[in-house]
Structures are given as structure tokens and as C-alpha cells.
Amino acid sequence: MTTLEKYTQVFTDTFGITDEEAKNLKFQDIKAWDSVGHMGLISAIEEAFDIMMETDDIIDLSSFEKGKEILAKYDVEIK
Amino acid sequence: MSNLEQLFEIEPYSLNKEEKEKMLSEELGRLTEFHYNNCPEYKKILDRLGYDVTKTHTTGELPFIPVRLFKFYDLMSCPKDDIVKTMTSSGTSGQAVSKIYLSAQNTKNQSKTLTEIITSFIGKQRLPLLLLDTEMVKKDRSMFSARGAGIIGFSMFGRDTVYALDSDMNLDFEKVAAFLEKHKDEPILMFGYTYMIWQFVVKELKKRGVNFNIKNGILFHIGGWKKLKDEAVDVFTYNKTINDVMGSVKVYNYYGMAEQLGSVFVQCEHGHMHCSNYSDIITRHPYDFTPCKFGEKGIIQLLSVLPESYPGHSLLTEDEGVVLGEDDCPCGRKGKYFEIKGRIKNAEIRGCSDTYERR
């Protein structure tokens, strides 16, 4: 499994959406990704990649794409 | 860089009186003009008051609206489509619910500000978090109230989060014990609501004669003191009892309202509530709304640089308090510090055009 597949799966599992839907997803686009869903997403990402994000990055992770950039800071390359 | 972006770059309790007045009068003046031009109801109020938004005003001259207007009107300063979240809070009187309309940017600024303030107390590292509440507050999203939002907002500062209470508000001893054992060599962060902590955690621990024995804990709590006052529990009794039943815990009470989430006020080691760079307080005499001197009790007006999607940057609350001083608290934090004295008796403030004439 590539890191991109793994990363996508976190979104599809957390929010119950398809791979296609995950790709362009932004915070608040769907009901499931509200502030409650956000904390669920964060812990799922942290668990999947065995990292711990800083609070600022938790706030900044506002889209599927932005998450990739942020993960790079923790030496996780999504490809 | 905007004023707010500049504030994010500096320590949250660093501006002295002159620096802060300069920044706040500029930024809050900008917000007043912005809301005047974007919120029709707000414009009506200011027109009625004869307030000129194009002129420069000191923070003391800024118009303020009673917080309960948010219960009766849908006040927003952006297109409806930009609203991503509606905060509700029942406030004191119960029936009517305040509705605060938040845009994505406003929500983000609230989170960033809360982060700046809280991490100045606990550090940047995320700590194991014990939430002294039930997970139900976040499961039922239709009940997404200020209480749930507070819990979620605070969750950002934690990791390995555990809820201490079950759905019936019973303390889950086994779960908490396992959590404390797992993290026994680390600082423990705790969060909850003032009265619920007392009622469902402290009393239960006392009754059972059990102690959490935390070596290095930090507890943040928020919420009213009314019920505790009825039980004759003051802040010193509260903090001492927490340490009696939980171990060595630094206790921080903080104060904020759904209408100005993010720019919260934290009580320092000397028992003083502090304004940060993001907020300010003015107490006012109840009969003519002139500002009180330091030491005089008055109705609390709160200022915040955050409200952008709704006109909530200058609000008259229904709380009374005393401003104790400015820039000279022994804890070293700059800004005004104060004490809250509770709710106004028989709080009934009408729309400000009924009761308030600008002089």
C-alpha cells in the first residue's frame, strides 16, 4: 500500500466517503468533517503514520491537499 | 500584515497599556466600521446612537451592544453562504438561545487565538488529555452547544484523549486509572466544566476516599460559579480540594462566552483573570454606563479583535465585575486583570436603543 493510498483511506474510513470524494475535500465541505470530525481525522492520521502533530498544524489542516503539505513536515511523503 | 496576523507573532500577554490602546482602537474601529457596512441591524443601532464610524475613537468610546441581542436577532456581517458553523448558547435565562454565525476564517482565527493563549500556559507540546466530561457531548452533534465546542476546541492541546465520565455522568475509575498509569511519568492535562468537575469528579473521589495521585497535572476549567457559591465553595477552596483529591495539579479557571470564543480570559497563579492582547474589559456603572474606576464594581463590557463574521467585537455582558489593575499583576502578564462578581441581579437589558442614549 502506498502512502497516498493509506492517507486516502484515513479520509474514506473517517468520513464514510469514496476515494474520488476524498481527493478534493475541504474542511466543512461535508457534514462529517466538522470540528468534531476534524479531531477524529487528526487522531486517525496520527495513528496511521505514527506521528504527533503540533496544535498549529491541526488547525491548518483544512483540506485533503493541505494535509499532504503538513505531513511532509513530519517526514511523511504522500505519493 | 493585518493587526491580527501581527498579534499571532508575539506573546499573548506582551502589550502594555499604550501599545494595546493603539492597536485595539485601530483594529476595533476597523471592525466597527466593517460591521456597520455589512450588518444592516448593527447599522440601525449605530445610526440610532448617532455614532460616526468614520471618526477615530478610543476603545472606551466604542459602541457596545447587549449580548442578548444575539438571542433575538440573526446578526451576521457576511453572506449567509460563508457561514460554516452556528454556535448556540442558552446563556442564563434559559429560553431564548444565542446564535453566533461563524465563517471559516473566523473559526480559524478563534482556534489560533485560543492556541496562543493556552500554550503560553502549558507549552507547545501536546499532553495526555483527561477530559472530565462525558463523550456524549460530542457524539450527539445536534446538541452541539458551547459545552461541546469547548471540549472539542480544547482537544487540540491533548493526545491519547480519555473521557473520565460515562454517559450517565459516573466517574469511570478503571478507565481513568489505566490512563494515569500509562502516563504516570508525564505531565497530565485535564479539562472540564467548573461545576461538573466538582459535582461528578471531586465529590465522587471524596466519597470513595480515592486519590488520582497525579504528580504533575494541569487543569483548565470553565463555567459559572453560581451553583458552587450556593455550596459556599470559593476559588481557593476549589483549588485546594482539587489538589487534595487529584494530587499536584495547577488549576486554571478561564472565562469566555460563546459570543467571543477564542479570546478567553485565564486566571493566573495570583487568582486574577487576565485580558490578553486579543481582548479587553471595561466595567460600566449600571445607571449611566460611564466607565468605572479600577476597584469599582460594574457591568462588564468585553472587547475582542476576533469577531469578523458577526458584530460581536464589543459586547455588554450580563456579568458584574471589578477591574483590579493594568500591566502590574505580580505574575508579570501585561494587560488589565479583573475579578468576576457574578450575574447582574434581575438581568434584563433591553435593546440598547431603548435604554441607552449616547451623550
Residues B338 and B235 in one domain: no
B75 & B138 share domain: no
3-state secondary structure of A26: strand
Mean pLDDT, residues B275-293: 97
Q: What is the pLDDT of residue B358?
A: 41
Q: Phi and psi dihedrals of A31, rounded to 5?
A: -55, -40
What is the domain extent for residue B322? 3-80+277-355
Domain containing A31: what range?
Answer: 3-72
- Chain A residues inside the 8 Å CB shell of B126: 52-55
> Per residue in B191-229, is it b (16+ CB within 10 Å) or e — as a string?
bbbbbbbbebbbebbeeeeeebebeebbbbbbbbbeebe
Q: Find the CB nearest A54 among B107, B124, B141.
A: B124
Which of the four pLDDT bands, split at 50, 70 and 90, describes residue B171? very high
The dihedral of CA B179, B271, B66, B264: what is its sign? negative
Q: Note the ipTM here.
A: 0.79
Instruction: Note whether A59 contacts B157, CB cutoff 8 Å.
Output: no
Contact between residue B249 and residue B217 where contact means Cβ atoms under 8 Å apart: yes
Q: What is the mean pLDDT of residues B297-314?
A: 97
Shared domain check, B46 and B10: yes
Q: Return the pLDDT at B118.
A: 94
Question: Which residue from A36, A38, A56 is facing B115, i.e. has the nearest CB?
Answer: A56
Mean pLDDT value of segment B86-90: 75
Taking residues B21-31, what's their average pLDDT? 97
- Choose among B150, B129, B197: nearest CA to B169: B197
Same-domain check for residues B291 and B349? yes
Asked whether residue A43 is domain-assigned, the answer is: yes
Q: Give residue B354's pLDDT.
A: 36
Domain count, chain A: 1
Please report the pLDDT score of residue B258 as a whole number: 84
pLDDT at B145: 67
Query: Which CATH number covers residue A30?
Result: 1.10.1200.10
Please indicate whether, in this complex, the C-beta atoms of B85 and A35 are within 8 angstroms of each other.
Answer: yes
* Domain-terminating residue out of B225, B255, B285: B255
Residue A75 touches partner B, C-beta closer than 8 Å: no
- The predicted model gives B215-239 an average pLDDT of 91
B268-272, B334-338, B345-349: which range is least confident on average? B345-349
Are residues B249 and B315 located together in one domain of the fold?
A: no
- For residues A78 and B152, the model is more confident at A78
Whether residues B290 and B245 fall in one domain: no
Overall average pLDDT of the A48-63 stretch? 91
Which chain B residues have a beta carbon less than 8 Å from that of A46?
159
| Residue B347: predicted pLDDT | 56
Partnered with residue B131 across adjacent β-strands are B163, B191
Show which of residues 6-65 on chain A sit within 8 Å of chain B, judged by CB atoms: 27-28, 34-36, 38-39, 43, 46, 52-56, 58-59, 62
Same domain for B250 and B131? yes
Residues B140 and B248 in one domain: yes
Given this model, what pLDDT does residue B352 score? Answer: 36
Chain B partners of A55 at a C-beta cutoff of 8 Å?
115, 119, 124, 126, 156-157
- Mean pLDDT, chain B, rounded, equals 90
Q: Is residue B85 part of a domain?
A: no
Residue A15 counted as domain residue: yes
Say if B92 falls within a structural domain: no
Top-confidence residue, B90 or B333: B333
Please report the pLDDT score of residue B50 as a whole number: 95
The answer to the question of residue B52 being in a domain is yes
User: B303 or B93: which carries more pLDDT confidence?
Assistant: B303
Given B84, B112, B124, which is nearest A59 (Cβ)?
Answer: B112
With beta carbons under 8 A apart, name residues in chain A contacting B84.
28
* The pLDDT of residue B90: 55
Structural domains counted in chain B: 2
Q: Mean per-residue pLDDT for B297-313? A: 97
Is residue A77 a part of any domain in this protein? no
Is B86 among the domain residues? no
What was the pLDDT predicted at A65?
95
What pLDDT is stored for residue B343 in this prediction? Answer: 84
* Poorest-pLDDT segment among B65-69, B135-139, B313-317: B135-139
Give the pLDDT mean for B146-160.
85
Kindly state whether residues B43 and B145 are assigned to the same domain.
Answer: no
pLDDT at B69: 95
Q: What share of chain A is helix, strand, coil (3-state, %, to 5)?
A: 60, 5, 35
